[in-house]
Structure 1
């Protein structure tokens, strides 16, 4: 039956259209559809054209980042020519101007690039205001709690407006603050491992909670979770990193409590297979803690069987983590996880090779041994990646559009 109404071609992202056309060719070759049917399906879609110039949007965001960074820098330079109250008032006025201006522009449906730049300036200006207030109150500007306040304010701004720019500022500053605050008073390698593992649990749980509701935020939290998990495994594998034990503090207890609460929230609100992500992060936390507690001695010139065994277990565990992240990246259509896992495994293998083999062989032979280990690990990882891709049978489609949070 012929259609009486001609439908306008639907715009789709170019990568998705390229995948669709390759699938149509494959279906036609297999005899599933005719060439005419394939042509009619293909004409129903056209490449999506971006309404805004990419270069202009990039320049606006870079300019906003420079201006916001300059505001923070000016506060750090102390602006000695002005009185403390005047400095604070000036910075607060600029922050309010960008904050209100960004929302007014969004309400008037201005260009997303302009709105994003204004919101980015507001998020960065918030940091300048926090540091200026700390200066006025005689609080040292290098204390990590100031970064924590900045991160909390930027995240609140991002969630209240549904905007990604302030949310990204909050995530970046929050990731920097998370391990710094508990380690501020006393440093401990095992404490750092626990904090990184707990951060992975928190971010993985938040990613699951955001899935299907704010997909852009979910991808950001999932990226943070992967990075924290890879860092936790890397730090835990350093020989004798946990010899000093864990240093308990109020900040560390609160961090663990927040991570546990987020995992419980994910389990309650999003039951099913998705909960495996925070469960896997909990496994990374426990495994990294056990590995960090496994001490074999600190004499680098005497590498014994225990050192070899610990290094082998560390490499196997890290490879398993990397493969798991590759599988998660394929399931969630998140290619960044694959690149992160691959790069981290390369760096980790190199580090472990030097740590284990350097005391035994030197000079050119060290590079021969290192290259052999490096090639072997890369070959096995590539085989595992290909096997996972075939088993999952995930087509190389681009990210599906999520819940429409503001593009800015």
Structure 2
């Protein structure tokens, strides 16, 4: 039996009954079709508890590794952590082969993807490799991604995406920290993930959802960061890692444009525009920003940043409504609220007193929320 959302099951029931009324199928056939579906919520309490429990166990093992486990020799520590990881890895696949419940299999695979990070850190420590190196996080991300693609599992993919994003930010900002490098790194990783979503749309829709959600979130975050006034451009040129990353992102975007459908191409075009607008907002320095006394040009830049973020949020909401993804709509709403609050407290706070500032911010959030929801409903009705 296939579990779907109550809204989709209601739509399917109406369609099947209309086919029955038109004489296309009989009553027995209609009942047989509907019997194969049941209403349910994607995020159940059991799934949530298993995922949180797996995360806690994985973090606990990582913590033990970080504490060095001084009572054991280096080789014994590697063997111990490796045995726990192997047990979780094999256990997850055995559960999958025996058709265990999906949340249980997902929790086991998530635990294995977290434990591979502990194994990497412990092996590096045994080989006298410095612990605070982004290369180790990159190895963890690569191992989790290999695990995800070998067993075709979403949970290790999530770990790989998170670890890979952390590695990229650490590697780039560690060599040349600046506001421009931060904004471009977030935008480049987000656009690359969006391109990978377009590549996976046909063969792996589950993987495509993960890549699309992470890519959209990072692109929106890059615009939120770019809209913050007073970012440092940095005196050094862009680091080589970032330049290579931008070239790789361009190649991935080209692949996504070749194999993606019309909506995926529109997403890639919008993501590319978001990268350009975000870089423009960071480079657009209107003089030395004074937090205590913003000038008129500071206010203009703040309004421009808010307008860019609002436009991007509306576009993401439209895409989320089209794809029936509540997560994308939630990301768009969060980005809009965050940008509005940041601009209010960084630009308008010196002008208005505390009470008036909160009144203005509240009125803005209510107005933006009502307008945003109205637009989303109109798009949903049109679709």
Alignment TM-score > 0.5, same fold: yes
Rg larger for: 1
- How far residue 193 of structure 1 moved from its aligned partner, in angstroms, is 0.2
- What SS does the corresponding residue of 1:183 show, helix, strand or coil? helix
The answer as to 2:349 corresponding to 1:333 is no
The separation in 2 between residues aligned to 1:21 and 1:245, in whole angstroms, is 62
Partner of 1:380: 371
Write out per-residue CA displacement over residues 12-64 of structure 1, whole angstroms, 9 at most, x where no aligned residue: 63522222345689x79xxx9579999778634134278xxx66555544433
Partner of 1:5: none
Structure 2, unaligned stretches of length 5 or more? none
The separation in 1 between residues aligned to 2:272 and 2:194, in whole angstroms, is 10
Partner of 2:133: 143
Q: Report the aligned-residue RMSD.
A: 2.9
**TM-score with structure 2 setting the length:** 0.88
Q: Say whether the 8 Å CA contact 1:353–1:373 is kept in structure 2.
A: no
Partner of 1:13: 4
Partner of 2:297: 306
Partner of 1:346: 337
After superposing the two structures, state which structure 1 stretch, 311-320 or 266-275, moved more: 266-275
Partner of 1:76: 66
The answer as to 2:149 corresponding to 1:159 is yes
Partner of 1:275: 265
Q: Say whether the 8 Å CA contact 2:176–2:239 is kept in structure 1.
A: no
- How far residue 334 of structure 1 moved from its aligned partner, in angstroms, is 1.1
Partner of 1:176: 166
Write out per-residue CA displacement over residues 208-229 of structure 1, whole angstroms, 9 at most, x where no aligned residue: 1111211111111111011101
Partner of 1:86: 76
Q: Say whether the 8 Å CA contact 1:75–1:128 is kept in structure 2.
A: yes
The answer as to 2:315 corresponding to 1:324 is yes
- Determine which of 221, 229, 236 is the counterpart of 2:219: 229
Q: Say whether the 8 Å CA contact 1:12–1:45 is kept in structure 2.
A: no
* Number of equivalenced pairs: 377
The answer as to 2:240 corresponding to 1:238 is no
Partner of 1:370: 361
The separation in 1 between residues aligned to 2:99 and 2:278, in whole angstroms, is 48
Partner of 1:402: none
The answer as to 2:354 corresponding to 1:359 is no
Q: Say whether the 8 Å CA contact 1:319–1:381 is kept in structure 2.
A: no
The separation in 2 between residues aligned to 1:383 and 1:318, in whole angstroms, is 18
More helix by share: 2
**TM-score with structure 1 setting the length:** 0.83
- Determine which of 243, 265, 268 is the counterpart of 2:255: 265
- What SS does the corresponding residue of 1:138 show, helix, strand or coil? coil
Structure 1, unaligned stretches of length 5 or more? 1-9, 394-408
